[in-house]
Chains A and B, each alone.
Chain A
């Protein structure tokens, strides 16, 4: 994993760095920004805001609903025992089971998709710098072609930080 990155101490300078990288011709999806908090109000943070996650959660809910229907119908008809004069497959209690399993389906679908989308837990090595935990913002270009590294270093330095690191 090769990357060249700089650590910035506040979001404004990180924004400035991202813009100067863009002016230098780096494609947007090659720029990675990492921070210890989400900086929703800054433009560098708006990438990846669109997500399918809500639809996936709804899909998980539908699967849960079907699971609830199946569980209720199958278990009630396997041993059709009369209780209290109620019908063997009755809607009222089944609705409760279906509701719970719908919500469980939505919740589990959300969590599993989250882990998949964010690639957690990671197996392959990724770029990271402990400076992020001290509050710095990391702006990186991942996997740059070798020929462009000196130019990128210049761009990074021009945006006004002390050191540029590469890994």
Chain B
């Protein structure tokens, strides 16, 4: 994935779309104040300067699907591991909730279910049937909408064709009004995301930690 920080307006449409697509539980105001809110993608805000010359910088942060993910070797039950496609998988059934992965993640993109999911009526009608609900005590995180990836691949296979670049879009990518988020196949050097990753504006978040993240952030034009 590539994130163009120059285009991001901080509107948080991605956050809303992600939560709806992936059945992220609602924490409520009291629990959120106690730090139990879950947002698989969040938009970080950093303020610079004094009023009235304040500048705000937005940075959407989601799971970086690191190639050398620090969250993977520390999970004692293999709930967190690397798939052949290069995604960092979180297997809810296998998670016993030690939260070691959540501590080890330097990007803090892993979240723990402090309670069972509850949706007030009629919100349960908006649940996505393609995504399982997580019970209390399980760690969850952004999966790059793996259900959409699988659905897209199966569609292409059924129609006997290759996947087109840009055909599979996670919920955040689909909902971004400025197309700041770009998703694709990094193995294909001609895909949009590969070209953007090679851009001179491209940086990786916390890349001195050696996690080899897959998300490239494109710096703002100054």
Contacts and interface: CB of A to CB of B under 8 A. Distances in A.
Interface string A65-98: 0000000000000010111111000000000000
- A interface majority secondary structure: loop
Interface in B72-89: 72-73, 75, 78, 80-82
A81 B212 contact: no
Interface residues of B, number: 13
A85 B68 contact: yes
Nearest to B89: A81
A84 B210 CA distance: 11
The prevalent SS among residues of B at the interface is loop
Contacts of B185: none
A82 B87 CA distance: 11
Contacts, number: 28
Nearest to B91: A81
B75 to A, nearest CB: 7
Nearest to B86: A82
B82 A85 contact: yes
Contacts of A83: 69, 72-73, 75, 78, 80-82
Interface of A: 79, 81-86
28 contacts: A79-B78, A81-B78, A81-B81, A81-B82, A82-B72, A82-B81, A82-B82, A83-B69, A83-B72, A83-B73, A83-B75, A83-B78, A83-B80, A83-B81, A83-B82, A84-B68, A84-B69, A84-B70, A84-B71, A84-B72, A84-B73, A84-B82, A85-B67, A85-B68, A85-B69, A85-B82, A85-B212, A86-B73
